[in-house]
Amino acid sequence: MNLYAGVSAFRQLFIDNQALDATDQAVVLRALEAASRRVDHMTHRTFFAETATRVFDGNGRSWMWLPDLLAATTIKLDEDANRTFELTLAAATDYYLKRKFYRNEDALPKTALELDQNGQRTSFLKQKRLVQIVGRWGFTEQTETLDSIAGAGQSSSSTTLTVNDGTLFSIGNTVLVESEQEYISAITGNNLTVSRAVNGTTAATHATGQLVKRFVYLTEVEQAALILAGRLIKRRESSYANATNNLTTGITETFYRYDPDVSVLLAEHVRGNGLI
């Protein structure tokens, strides 16, 4: 799971920081998850970092579009269609990664893979499942350091992450410890209950004193997720009707497919609208 806003942010915005019981908290978490995925759908991109291997078709050209890519570990080609990627391309001589057509093509995330005309290949074969890329995908992997591991550290199998100050974290946060991502599902004092090795990372043993960093998402993305989640929760009261009557003002309020404030917040981050 990757939530673009945690339960604490939802409580602060919508219920004046009041506590939630277990049932309501579960409902809010589901709403935040649904809202976060709606943000992905509306923008045609994801805003969290995921380590994964992805395969793409060749297009017969010297470059191809990619989903948002933060870093490539390896890029290989399978040119004889035997499902083995035999040819490894070298970053220094065979290809460039670009944020193509953006005002700064060297900026992250990268959106295109372009072959160097002096490298091993000058164009991609027009062939299915030609290119394999192992890397970290997503729009951003910005973090902020909140705390460090306390107690005896964390074993590779433990679902408890003990920190010095649990109040710094929120249920729904994804944190980074060394190279492992962990999702916080519950907090008791300074003990964080976590799902290990999320988003394609690998569980490892972490020593006492290792930094615990929280992933930070774009402000517009966080606010859009909160608005969408709040809207989902509010519409429960009307059994998800398409319109409600405001008894105070006498105004009939219609629920549209996309919230207008959310659309404005996300407009500049929609992939394919000319801004890349």
Predicted confidence at residue 262, as pLDDT, reads 96
Q: Write down the residue that tokens 């990268």 correspond to.
A: 110
* Three-class secondary structure of residue 90 per DSSP: coil
CA atoms of 188 and 164, how far apart (whole Å):
12
Predicted confidence at residue 51, as pLDDT, reads 98
* Strand partners for 72: 135
* 190 closest CA partner among 148, 158, 156, 155: 148
Please write the tens of the pLDDT for every residue from 17-39: 999 999 999 999 999 999 999 99
Give the CA distances from residue 157 to residues 51, 184, 195, 206, in Å, rounded to whole numbers and listed in that order: 20, 15, 10, 11
* 46 closest CA partner among 141, 129, 144: 141
CA atoms of 28 and 43, how far apart (whole Å):
22
| Pairing of the two strands 95-98 and 110-115 | antiparallel
CA atoms of 135 and 73, how far apart (whole Å):
5
Q: How many residues does the chain have?
A: 276
Would you state the structure tokens that stand for residue 138, as one six-digit string?
């997503």
Low-confidence ranges of the chain (pLDDT < 70): 238-257, 273-276
Task: Sketch the domain layout of the chain as residue ranges.
Answer: 12-43+218-276, 50-137, 142-216
- Nearest-Å Rg of the Cα atoms of the chain is 22
Could you say which architecture CATH assigns to the domain 142-216? Answer: Beta Barrel (2.40)
